[in-house]
Amino acid sequence: MIFRKFQDIDFNNFPVVIFGSGPAGMTVALELEKKNISSVIIEAGESEYSEDSQDQYNGKIIGDNIADLSSSRLRQLGGTSGHWGGWSKPMEAYNFKNWPIKKEDLDPYNTKTCSILNIKNQFKKTKLNNYFNQIEFKYSTVRFAEKYKTYIEKSKKIHLILNCQLSHFEGSEKKIQSAICLFNNSSKKIKSKYFILACGGIENSRILLWTKEKNGSLINKNLPVGQYWMNHPWIISGIGLINKKKLKSKLNDQFIDYDGPLHFAASKNLIEEKKILSAAIYMNAKEDTKLYKEIIKDILCIAPEYGKKIAHLIFKKDLKCGNIFMNIEEPPSKNNRIKLDPHERDKLNIPVVNLFYNKSKESLLAAKTFLEEFGNFCIKEDLGRIAAKENIYNLDDFKNMGGYHHLGGTNMGINKSISVVNSKLKVHDINNLYIAGSSNFTTGGYTNPTYTIIQLSLRLADELHSKLNT
């Protein structure tokens, strides 16, 4: 049910309160309902987009520029799923190397995750050579508000409050006693057995940092809240072509055939042997033919003979030409961090966010190495030619076209000096506060985070079910 007034809800009937209605928070609530556990979702935004509400997400980026913090996330029902691109895929097993959990811990949740996202539970991978795989993404069209709003309105186990901002937590002796929420120009105290913070890869850190300032003894002062923040640099790394017919011939029935761009990812061998971060590229199969002349010019400079062949074959359908797009992993850096602005506050008197962020040379090296090795593979197998952008080849810089994937800040781990939550997503040294979402990621990999967010949220629902049944 959706409520507009606090007094209409008896919080004594709800053992779990969830802050945030995005993929993380909503997934936990839906899964708890299946286990006959009631919960309340408290959403800071409205049911639809609002400029006034969105202004609460203003913040400052100090360092290298990425997407503005007020546009890269959404403060509304369904959270940032309201404008996500839909790319869905589990993370690679090797990406969990430094996590306190393994890919095998999340695999049991694949079927439910795919059901939530309305996609097939089938993610093919074909080995090209020791360094590269052809991979497959699924594309979800799910917007959580559209899919689940009517369902929640009719639910007796899930209650939802809109336009209610969580300010901070109060408590003592390793326990949250209450959450302080701001609603209709008044402050409300909410009590529950368990609290879940699922407000996103910026807000989770912001609320914990504000809690530390308001209640200094509640959260371990040494926990690195806001630190080790990451995103997925999304760049145009070069230009080139792949002869799809030859690739299909080489891979035979192992070729992953579908409409859309061709996806290729680094293998564990490439990452370990070259000591680089993970990365993946996609090459659009339907480039604008007006780009072909410029592409041919560039390739003629690098590979004249092959460029001549391209000029003769340019209008054949099996020739795939154009920009090479790349997603690169970023390392968790202590210097990339979220802090509270010491002077500026929002309309609700909560400090705005300062995001300190600088691009990583390690990510740049990964991009160059990937392109060099992939280019060598294409030449050796006569599958095509690619050319890295000059700034990447010279290790000068890359232009980040993204910044919408907010990872880290409350990262998962065992060591309290470098992590905020444990393997069960419980905040270290607090017995009843859990965090859901991409802020828990220990490392980011190259894969879009939504799929993994939902897996982790389903696993968290199982943990709470176990706790409440004990």
Kindly report the length of the chain: 470
Shared domain check, 243 and 226: no
307 within some domain: yes
Number of domains in the chain: 2
Shared domain check, 247 and 208: no
Shared domain check, 244 and 218: no
135 within some domain: no
Shared domain check, 377 and 428: no
CA angle centred on 237, ends 232 and 241, rounded to 5°: 125
Shared domain check, 176 and 27: yes
Shared domain check, 59 and 33: yes
Shared domain check, 349 and 385: no
- Contact residues for 58 (Cβ-Cβ < 8 A; gap 6+): 69, 70, 346, 352
128 within some domain: no
Shared domain check, 240 and 217: no
Looking at residue 316, what is its pLDDT? 46
Shared domain check, 254 and 172: no
pTM for the structure as a whole = 0.91
DSSP string, 296-351: HHHHHHH-HHHHHHHHHHTT-TTEEEEEEEEEE----BTTSEEEEEEEEE-TTSPE
Shared domain check, 430 and 285: no
Shared domain check, 51 and 21: yes
252 within some domain: yes
Q: Which residues of the chain have pLDDT under 50?
A: 285-291, 314-321
Looking at residue 296, what is its pLDDT? 52
SS3 for 185? Answer: coil
SS3 for 190? Answer: strand
Domain holding 326, by residue range, is 234-331+361-393
150 within some domain: yes
* Identity at 338, one-letter amino acid code: I
Shared domain check, 436 and 372: no
The CATH number covering residue 463 comes to 3.50.50.60
Looking at residue 194, what is its pLDDT? 97
265 within some domain: yes
Q: Per-residue pLDDT tens for 377-404?
A: 999 999 888 889 999 999 999 988 888 8
CB 100 within 8 A of CB 423: yes
